[in-house]
Amino acid sequence: MNHAIIAPTAPQALLAVNDIEVMYDDAILAVAGVSLQVGQGDIVALLGANGAGKSTTLKAISGLVQADRAQVSRGHIRFQEQDTTGVAAHVLARRGIVHVLEGRHVFAHLTVEENLRSGGFLRNPTRRELEHDLERIYAWFPRLRHKRRAQAGVTSGGEQQMLAIGRALMTKPRLMLLDEPSMGLAPIIVEEIFAIVAQLNAQERMSFLVAEQNINIALRHASYAYIMESGRVVGEGAAAELARRDDIQHFYLGGKAG
Ligand code: ATP
């Protein structure tokens, strides 16, 4: 029997990136020929070393490239059957794409709860809806409830990452782009964060595209993965298949960890 690996989606992918090229400052070609898909309810990993082009690809999808003086200079991006190439980030946020940037961006001088509330304003909710949504985030992240009145800047790295994800959840996204959620965090905290991602995926059918250098944790939670190198996709496959391939572990990420 032929066990060909099939990409997670067919025609009605939630997100379809088709052969894109991204240029910074009309001069620096950061990403070329990148195609990938995320189906409704999938967790897809985008793997690669530093500078491979993962962040740029995510920013192209969320529209944030424009804030970095970059643009999608070739190819197309479709989200929910609509062409979203070059559409501004705030428009895409309203359509259901939320981007949690690398490096745990939180408003350091605001409290944890104020940070969460800031994520809710996008939808212009009533006070009651906002309170309800806050409760929902605290149910997912009990640590945030505990720290709700603390200044975000003095919470731990793991709490800040949870806060960045919690604030993104306040926008009620259909697709969350997560850029290196494991970066700089202790393994036990990374496990906790990925466990919550897996639960959100299972219970709310939320879709995720997760850029990671931590191949082991990403492949354990994703169903499908793409591997990037020097701005291109150089490999892809079912996560379970890729996890068994020693060449990927060693060549791209310097040996098996954990
Ligand atoms: P990292 O984990 O370090 O963020 P990455 O895989 O996400 O790596 P990118 O940050 O997307 O990779 O970088 C891809 C390429 O784009 C690199 O060659 C980088 O130098 C270039 N690049 C990224 N940001 C900019 C920018 N603002 N201006 C010019 N070039 C950039």
What spacing in Å lies between the alpha carbon of 56 and ligand 1's midpoint? 6
In ligand 1, the atom with minimum distance to the C-alpha of 102 is 4
Q: Per residue of the chain (258 residues), give pLDDT as tens.
A: 444 455 554 557 999 999 999 999 999 999 999 999 999 999 999 999 889 999 999 999 999 999 999 999 999 999 999 999 999 999 999 999 999 999 888 999 999 999 999 988 877 878 899 999 999 999 999 999 999 999 999 999 999 999 999 999 999 999 999 999 999 999 999 999 999 999 999 999 999 999 999 999 999 999 999 999 999 999 999 999 999 887 776 665 544 443
* Residue 3: predicted pLDDT: 47
In ligand 1, the atom with minimum distance to the C-alpha of 183 is 2
- For 12-56, how does the pLDDT look when each residue is reduced to its tens digit (9 = 90+)? 799 999 999 999 999 999 999 999 999 999 999 999 988 999 999
Query: Residue 120 domain-assigned?
Result: yes
115 pocket-lining for ligand 1 (C-beta < 6 Å): no
In ligand 1, the atom with minimum distance to the C-alpha of 57 is 11
Q: Is 29 helix (H, G, I), strand (E, B) or coil?
A: strand
How buried is 227 (Cβ within 10 angstroms: 0-12 exposed, 13-18 middle, 19+ buried)? buried
- For 170-193, how does the pLDDT look when each residue is reduced to its tens digit (9 = 90+)? 999 999 999 999 999 999 999 999
* Residue 256: predicted pLDDT: 41
Range of the domain at 187: 15-251
* Residue 144: predicted pLDDT: 95
* Residue 1: predicted pLDDT: 42
What spacing in Å lies between the alpha carbon of 51 and ligand 1's midpoint? 5
Query: Residue 169 domain-assigned?
Result: yes
Looking at residue 35, what DSSP letter applies? E
In ligand 1, the atom with minimum distance to the C-alpha of 68 is 27
Q: To test the ligand 1 pocket, which listed residue (21, 55, 213, 226) has its Cβ within 8 A of the most ligand atoms? A: 55
Query: Residue 218 domain-assigned?
Result: yes
**Which one, of 29, 4, 34, lies nearest residue 16 by Cα?**
34
* Residue 173: predicted pLDDT: 95
* Residue 120: predicted pLDDT: 84
Query: Hey, what are 240's tokens?
Result: 């379970």
Query: Residue 7 domain-assigned?
Result: no
Query: Residue 197 domain-assigned?
Result: yes
What spacing in Å lies between the alpha carbon of 46 and ligand 1's midpoint? 14
* Residue entry with tokens 């709490």: 159
Q: What is the domain-level CATH number for residue 186? A: 3.40.50.300
Query: Residue 162 domain-assigned?
Result: yes
What spacing in Å lies between the alpha carbon of 60 and ligand 1's midpoint? 12
How many domains does one find in the chain? 1
What spacing in Å lies between the alpha carbon of 29 and ligand 1's midpoint? 10
Query: Residue 163 domain-assigned?
Result: yes
Q: To test the ligand 1 pocket, which listed residue (17, 36, 54) has its Cβ within 8 A of the most ligand atoms? A: 54
Query: Residue 137 domain-assigned?
Result: yes
Phi/psi at 158 (5° precision):
-65, -40
pTM: 0.91
* Residue 255: predicted pLDDT: 43
Distance CA 258, CA 255 (A): 10
28 pocket-lining for ligand 1 (C-beta < 6 Å): yes
104 pocket-lining for ligand 1 (C-beta < 6 Å): no
Q: To test the ligand 1 pocket, which listed residue (24, 61, 210) has its Cβ within 8 A of the most ligand atoms? A: 24
What spacing in Å lies between the alpha carbon of 8 and ligand 1's midpoint? 27
Torsion of CA 199, 113, 217, 102, to 10 degrees: 130
Distance CA 110, CA 112 (A): 7
What spacing in Å lies between the alpha carbon of 54 and ligand 1's midpoint? 8
